[in-house]
Structure 1
Amino acid sequence: MAFDTSAKAAGVAVCSEEKLLAEFSVNTGLTHSQTMMPMAQAALDCAKLTLNDIDAFAVAAGPGSFTGLRIGIAAVKGLAQTLGKPCVPVSTLEGLAQNLQGFEATVCAVMDARCKQVYNALFTCGGTPSRLCEDRAISIEQLTQELKTVSDRILLVGDGAELCYAQMHASLPQVELAPVALRHQKASSVALCAHRLYAQGVRVEAGELIPTYLRLSQAERQLQEKNRK
């Protein structure tokens, strides 16, 4: 069972091996704490499963919204600990790249990190997504300069895609937006990534599951700046 609460939309999916059994996604303005568990129960009901049938719980562990990540991870930790099941943390950016598996392009996963920055990673996705760099926080200007060295098709995916496209397309004619149906986080993609990781032995106990923020929160940055003065 996979959860993604890293951005405005929230999603839950149940997969068996590489078969998607059920998936729910909402983007209604309700808080993730309001929508996530009802979706999880609905997904189980549709798949005719119970929580005891789940072998592992996967979650988009970051980067992303600080509050959203905490909600999803807290829920997964609670379920996994109660049931004695392992957790599989998945990079939100790798989950986004999974949306575009089979596309012959350089996939540029971008999430709006505010302050003229994005959370970013680059992948090739002709087959299973393969990383070209680690997850990072980077300025849009710096990312634009880096992508000028890429000659093939570039697909932007994630909630920062439109923002980056608006600033990049004039100087990067090879850059495109991913199809709208594939542009945002999907819990099923997190589940597929988690399936590969689980098969490779990547899993943690509930107490070891932590979010990956990549940078300090705004409040922490402001406190650091205040302490420097």
Structure 2
Amino acid sequence: MANILAIESSGNTGGAAVLREGQIVGEASLPTPRSHGEHLVPSFAQALEAAGLSFPELDGIALNVGAGSYTGLRVGLAAAEMLALVHNKPILPVPCTNALCEAAIRQGVAAGLLLPALDARRDYLVGAAFRWDGQTLARESDDELMLPEHFFAQGGVVIGDAAQIYAETLGPSQAFDGRWELEAADVGLAALRLYRSAMDASALAQNPTRRVELN
């Protein structure tokens, strides 16, 4: 099992987390909202220090690639590409919708249809559908730009800022009422689930590509 540095920069908050043997062993959050440019890169070393690891000991870098804040995502991508180049590590791209599902799973969301979604403004959402059976998470649709009423008509549990924005429309049975702002650990756990076949440390070391493709 690989040592993974996970990076979250898609929203107002963010930071880094380190996962070892599938467990969260180090975390560091931005001290103030929207301070990615100043504090995101220092959070990498802070998370590694908490985990007792160094950059050379990493096997991959998990990165939230959106949807989300354009500025925040650009900062995260630039930082991840810098690390990948300097330390010859692969980048593991993670869609934001996958990370939102992991956030809900960590908080005990019930098995069923999960609908992670972000407000895209102008009365649209960016979202996707996933099926969670308590152990396996399966994507059922690609990320799409949709009208809220069409997206919600699928009937699943809505996760993300859309659940907060449209809480009155959805009602308590469909709007997930837990944490929806992502943590870096959510991104790391999503990467482990997405890239399970590539998570063997020796396999990553033998093929240190810039970006690992989805299975």
Worse overlay, 35-44 or 159-168: 159-168
Identity rate of aligned residues, in percent?
A: 28
1:155 aligns with 2:157: yes
Offset, 1:190: 1.0
Q: 1:183-218 CA deviation, whole Å, 9 max, x = no partner?
A: 221211211121233332398833x59xxxxxxxxx
Q: Partner residue of 2:131?
A: 124
Amino acid at match of 1:200: S
- 2:141 paired residue number: 133
CA distance in 1, matches of 2:44, 2:145: 31
| Aligned position for 1:92 | 96
CA contact (8 A) 1:15 1:22 kept: yes
C-alpha displacement of 1:166: 2.9
Separation in 2, partners of 1:197, 1:98: 11
Q: Is the 8 A contact 2:163 2:170 kept in 1?
A: no
- Partner of 1:197 in structure 2? 194
Q: How does 1:1-229 map to 2 (within 5 A)?
A: 1-26=5-30, 28-101=32-105, 103-125=110-132, 126-144=134-152, 146-147=153-154, 150=155, 154-169=156-171, 174-179=173-178, 182-201=179-198, 205-206=209-210
Unaligned runs of 5+ in 1: 210-229
The offset of 1:27, in angstroms, is 6.8
Moved more, 94-103 or 194-203: 194-203
Give the total of aligned pairs: 197
Separation in structure 2 between the aligned mates of residue 68 and residue 159 of structure 1, nearest angstrom: 16
- Post-superposition Cα deviations, 1:118-140, rounded to whole Å, max 9, x if no partner, equal 11112222223221211111121
RMSD of aligned Cα (Å): 2.2
Distance 1:47 1:57, change over 3 A: same
Change (3 A) 1:27 1:156: farther
Deviation at 1:28, TM superposition (A): 2.4
Q: Tell me the distance in 1 between the aligned counterparts of 2:147 and 2:95.
A: 19
TM-score norm. by structure 1 comes to 0.78
Partner of 1:63: helix, strand, or coil?
coil
Q: CA deviation at 1:111?
A: 1.0
Q: Which runs of 4+ in 1 moved over 4 A?
A: none
Residues 52-109 of structure 1, C-alpha deviations (whole Å, 9 max, x = no match): 1111011001111111111111100010111111110001110110122252232211
SS at match of 2:18: strand
